Each structure stands twice: as structure tokens, then as C-alpha cells.
Structure 1
Amino acid sequence: MMNITELIIFSLIIGSGATIIMDIFAVINKRLFNVQSLDYALLGRWIGHFQHGKFSHQTILQAAPIKGERAIGWIAHYLIGISFAFLLLLIWGIQWAYHPTFGPAIIIGIVTTAAPWFLMQPAFGFGIAASKTPNPTLARTRSLKTHTVYGIGLYLAALLLSILLK
């Protein structure tokens, strides 16, 4: 039987670590290649409109700003990263954190690309898999790269945790 406290703590550590690695990747992409990543204020704006029963937008860019949207978005970004780590540990078991392997981490990373493609982008008014954006292929590729890096981050964070647990 899985220890729920261990599951939560490991999810917090691995998910936060993977999300930090994803954010470092975004900063490097911005500085070296001028590649813009998602402005998490838009995620916060989307979430902020939930209280008014608004879950999708013609375009989130034109939706009314929400007080504290940037903070809401960044908090949500990390909670989502932690939730996906929780999912990994539920599927592969808590023992995976003691002996991490690359396969489960990269699978979760790539599979989580479904979240922006089929939930966030349509709700933001960008269409399924960014189909309504000026360059859908580029947007899709960026989402896939970012979530692949997140998967690599899951593995690296778990590897570091496993070393600390020894």
C-alpha cells in the first residue's frame, strides 16, 4: 500500500523540480533564440474568470484582466507540474522515486502535451492544438518540446531525490 504522505512529498519535490527545469529551458530559449513562452498571467486570467462561470474565451488576450492574474498563473503552473508528478507516481508507484528510470518520466512529459493542446489552447480561443494561431505547427512543436523537457525534468528531479534518499 502506498504511503500518502510520501506520495505527496515526493510529488511536491519531483513536480516542482521538473517545473523549474521547464522554466529554465524557457528562459534559455528566450535569451538565446528569442522564443516566447506562455505568459502565465494568461493562465491566471483564464482561471480568474472561472468564478464568473467563464471557462472558454474567443481569445484570452482580449478577456478582461483579473487582479493578481500573474501570481495565480504561476501558482497554477507549479500546481499543475506537481499534479503531473503525482500522476506519474500513482501509475508507476512510489518505488519509482527511489529508482527512477527515464521511460516513465518522458512518457508523462509527452502525454501531458494533451493538456495545452486539448484543454488550454481551445479554452484560450487558440483552437485545438493551436489550430487558430498564425503558425499552428510552430505552436504545437513548442508545446511538445516544453513538455518533453518537463519529462526530462521529472527524471532529473527524481534522480536527485533518489540520491538524497540513500
Structure 2
Amino acid sequence: MSVITLGLIMGICGTVAMDIWAVILTRIAGIPAPNWGNVGRWVAHLGRGTVFHADINTSTPVARERLIGWIFHYAVGAVYGALFLGIMGQAWLSAPNFLPLWIFAILTIGAGWFLLHPGLGLGWALAKTAAPWKGRVLGLMAHTVFGLGMWMGAVALG
């Protein structure tokens, strides 16, 4: 398989791990699951030229926004996996080291903090939410799990 294909698979593994983590948090701690419908609405509005919303909930709904959000979520995860492996190269797969993958996974939260969150009207790094630090910590934990899932995928592929 090509490096890109292997990276895409790793990214999907990481995204699945992140989603399993979200289900666990919802069931055990009562933390609401991510609203992929809002993300889908945001993605659809990108195509209409709007990047930043005061509140995505008040923006015009779009058909199949939840499906769009889920597809976007997995596409981004897959692209992150391909990007990581593109940076590290095929040689990294012969002895997958978690540390660079974890650092990369933590860095990917920047796209959420500085593009997606303000785009949804939540402010930079969730600054406009009731508990921004709680959301930030949960995001860092989720991205750690994303990295762990990508690493497990790499180990399985190796």
C-alpha cells in the first residue's frame, strides 16, 4: 500500500477511537456528544462563502447537515493521518513511535480552536462558551485518543 493510503487508514482508526471515547464520556460522565450537524451546517455554509457565524444554531439549516458533518469529521481525520505519514515517511511504520504522533495529534486541535470553533460562533478556543477550559481539556484528551488510535492503526498495519 502507498504511504498515503496507509496514512488515510491510520487517520480513520484515530477518528474511530475518538468517537468511541466520546461515547464512553457520554455514557459514564454525561458529557454531551459532539454535534456533527452543526459542523455539517458550517461546512455547507463554507460553500456559500460564510466562514464565521455569530451562532451556527441561528444559521439557515441545510439538508443532511448531520451526514455532512460526519463525513467531514472522518475526512479530516483521514487527511491528518495521511499528512502525518507524509511528514514522517514509510520508515516510521517499521517502528511506530507514539511520541511524534501524539505531538502531531495535539497540534491538530489548532484547526478546531482557531477555525472551527470561531466558525461555529464559539469563539477562539471556545472562549465564548460557559466553561472554555473544560472544553479545551476535553479536546486535548480527545486528540490524545485520536493519536492513540492512529498509533494502534499503525501498529496493526506494520
**TM-score in terms of structure 1 length:** 0.91
Measured after TM superposition, the shift of residue 84 of structure 1 is 0.8
What do you get for the CA RMSD once the two structures are aligned? 1.1
* 1:76-115 → structure 2 map (5 Å cutoff): 76-115=72-111
Flag as ranges the 4+ runs of structure 1 deviating above 2 A: none
SS state at 1:77 partner: helix
* 1:51-62 → structure 2 map (5 Å cutoff): 51-62=47-58
Is 1:135–2:142 an aligned residue pair? no
Amino acid at match of 2:148: I
* Distance in 1 of aligned mates of 2:85 and 2:65: 30
Residue in 2 that maps onto 1:66: 62
Measured after TM superposition, the shift of residue 109 of structure 1 is 1.1
Is 1:22–2:4 an aligned residue pair? no
Measured after TM superposition, the shift of residue 148 of structure 1 is 1.0
Amino acid at match of 2:110: A
**Structure 1 residues 100-147: Cα deviation after superposition (integer angstroms, max 9, x where no partner):** 111121011111111111110011111101000111111111111111
Structure 2 residues without counterparts, runs of 5 or longer: none
* Distance in 1 of aligned mates of 2:93 and 2:134: 34
Is the CA contact (8 Å cut-off) linking 2:53 and 2:120 kept in structure 1?
A: yes
Match of 2:34 among 38, 43, 46: 38
Matched residues, percent identical? 38
Measured after TM superposition, the shift of residue 7 of structure 1 is 1.9
